Structure 1
């Protein structure tokens, strides 16, 4: 079995990390992404951008993986033992999949616990606050290693190769509104792959999926994993 899993903010919501879109206190309802998550915003007011991501970084360090993260790590390990293949692509910039034990994780939108030089592009681990005085060895300013609006997602060639090879495509906790990730289901369907959505509520492209299950990620993901492993 070859699985391609796409995860979004909904898989980490029960770990206390906010979602960006959707009902309730979604981040982009409370904050203006144009002022906080664009290269132009960083150039105009780097202190404000750093303050926003410093707060999120501290929240992430204090968070823990939930049952959904743990179940996906178990699925990856068991499929590997059985000779299967598993690719986990996440839109999330947290490291909760890795902390739960997942190995083959692609962060298409970057990683909050890393910093990148705005000049030379070097990436380093970062668990401390960043400021306008944070500098790379080359002298360039350090910025969060995250993909902002207007920037290109990371590792797209590797992602599409894995998607083309997969037998089953599964989207977990995604809004279905952010491209290119929202287009993965259509690409999978074009190849005749079975597609499954696991979400708190129907996504913006829910009609594209063959199998749709709704509820808290910590409940429906472990249940789905058990079904897969029982095959």
Structure 2
């Protein structure tokens, strides 16, 4: 089961949502949990569950798209809901998509993993995805990884890439889609996501240029010898 939930920068959610729009999947269920804040997303006037599950016909691939932002406090209840559904559905492993805003160099824009040995041997041994050096994950990701470390959840791996809030960080989402293609043998047309990512990048570059021009203009005004107000 591939899990993309709503956290700052939205990279994992964007990747999971793109996946269900561009591969052959059908809606197969949803997750709800007591004590978790409510959210009612809608499209074309129709409400839909905030955490939806999709299955690929003829495959054991399941994708969870979670549009609800879950604070750290209710993460335990949210993880309970996900794992209850996973147990009922016979899910054998969980892949988390975690775009995390942490300091990084430009060459570190890549996908790394935090995973149990069983998950790593099953899914990552034939890939070039490298282990993330150290740190911690909180929220739903941290809760699910804690459960698998304790042996109370299926083998779980988090795919982690540095991301840039507020998002959506579509460049990070592209990295996730590429990693999932290699891990699960998928074929995904990423052309639309690449175009959207380029549009977002241009938008922020133009904003940065305008801000720089405004700052330079302000500095020029401050340096002028203006006449005194003699009124």
**Shorter-chain TM-score range:** under 0.3
The alignment's TM-score, normalised by the length of structure 1, stands at 0.27
Larger Rg: 2
